[in-house]
Structure 1
Amino acid sequence: MTQPVQPPPSGNPFADGVGYPNAPAPAPVRDNVGLGVAAAFGVALVTAGIYGAIVGATEYQIGFAAVGVGYLIGLVAGKIGGRNPALPVVAAILSLGAVYLGQLLGLAIVGADLLKTTVSELFFQNFDLLMEGWKEEAGPMTFLFLAIGAFAAFSAAKKSAA
């Protein structure tokens, strides 16, 4: 037979927590900047490939896709990396690189069809042709999409770390 729980001598039944479950463990600290940057870099590579495939398939740059690239990079950087003030800046820079790489990949997909070659050959062996094509095609919208992606990454990293 068990004995009933006696209140502590202070008279406060909540003083020692006897008979009550333990409080849940605190949430893990998310201030791991290195892991946040590494994860954001991985997401930048994946989203650059997706953005490049979209540009190559449609032969148009789509602003919402650039926003998506930036948002996903920033979201991952903030969620994993935490509140470090450098993370939004790093996410914006990674987004610039990802959108740019996606534009190059999309141009390589389109150019490979026109030049009757493979995307990898154009991208890795004839990169100078690809850069010339990008410079000729680059206009205000190209740079606007770069800026939009960077802004989305910066904003998402700040909001997701809160």
Structure 2
Amino acid sequence: MTAPEPGTDGQSVRPRMAQHYSVAPEPDAPEGYVAPGMPGAPVAGYDPVPDPAEPPAGRRRRPRRRTGLAVALSLTAMLIGALAYGAALSRAASSIGWLAIALAAAVAWPLGRIGGPNRALPPLGALLSVGGLLLGQLLGQTLRLHRLAGTPYGDLLGDALRIWRADRHPVDLAFYGIALIGGFLLTRRTAATD
């Protein structure tokens, strides 16, 4: 008995042989599709899904960081904050050391926002915050002595430093700690919000 030929009424019982093409068959995938893991570049007409982390076309990936400008603005904020803190301290009857957090925020904002995520800026923010607090306290003592004694400011600086040393309380260390930690953390946090 012989097997029927294909195309006749019955099926062929011979196993199906591999088909060879002289031209590749049409793919079942859309034009330009490259299967994951397969080498090749997309062809024209292929519209990839945009990466959500990538900015839209025409925008820069990251803003430029200006560390020098950030340090200059932070120094200016420290001096202005020290002047304001010293003026308030000379008029206050009690300690206003809790304003150290405002001074730390004024110093930390330009460092973090303009300077960006630079590792050297948070320690610098901490030091500038403590320096602003120290300058503000010395200025407050100088203004208080000038108001009481009426002598020129240049002569009062040495006296103000001696009075500042003698007038330290344990709670003042807490205010310096607030300025130190606040300056560090606020600088790092404002740099991270970009």
> TM class, shorter-chain normalised?
0.7 to 0.9
The CA distance in 1 between the partners of 2:177 and 2:148, in whole Å, is 29
Percent identity at matched positions?
A: 29
Measured after TM superposition, the shift of residue 54 of structure 1 is 1.2
TM-score (norm 1): 0.79
Where do residues 9-158 of structure 1 align in structure 2 (5 Å cutoff)?
10-12=44-46, 14=47, 23-26=57-60, 29-117=63-151, 121-122=152-153, 124-158=154-188
Change beyond 3 A, Cα 1:57–1:84: same
Which residue pairs with 1:4 in the alignment?
A: none
Which residue pairs with 1:19 in the alignment?
A: none
Stretch moving more, 23-32 or 54-63: 23-32
CA contact (8 A) 1:44 1:69 kept: yes
The CA distance in 2 between the partners of 1:59 and 1:110, in whole Å, is 11
Which residue pairs with 1:18 in the alignment?
A: none
Q: Say which structure, 1 or 2, has more relative contact order (CA 8 Å, 6+ apart).
A: 1
The CA distance in 1 between the partners of 2:178 and 2:63, in whole Å, is 30
DSSP-derived class of the 1:126 partner: helix
CA contact (8 A) 2:89 2:95 kept: yes
TM-score (norm 2): 0.67
Measured after TM superposition, the shift of residue 28 of structure 1 is 5.0
Equivalent residue pairs, number: 143
The CA distance in 2 between the partners of 1:50 and 1:27, in whole Å, is 39
Change beyond 3 A, Cα 1:161–1:30: farther
Deviations 1:100-150 (A, max 9, x none): 000011111211122133xxx23x233211111101111212222122112
Amino acid at match of 1:39: L
CA contact (8 A) 2:79 2:132 kept: yes
The CA distance in 1 between the partners of 2:94 and 2:136, in whole Å, is 12
The CA distance in 2 between the partners of 1:59 and 1:27, in whole Å, is 52
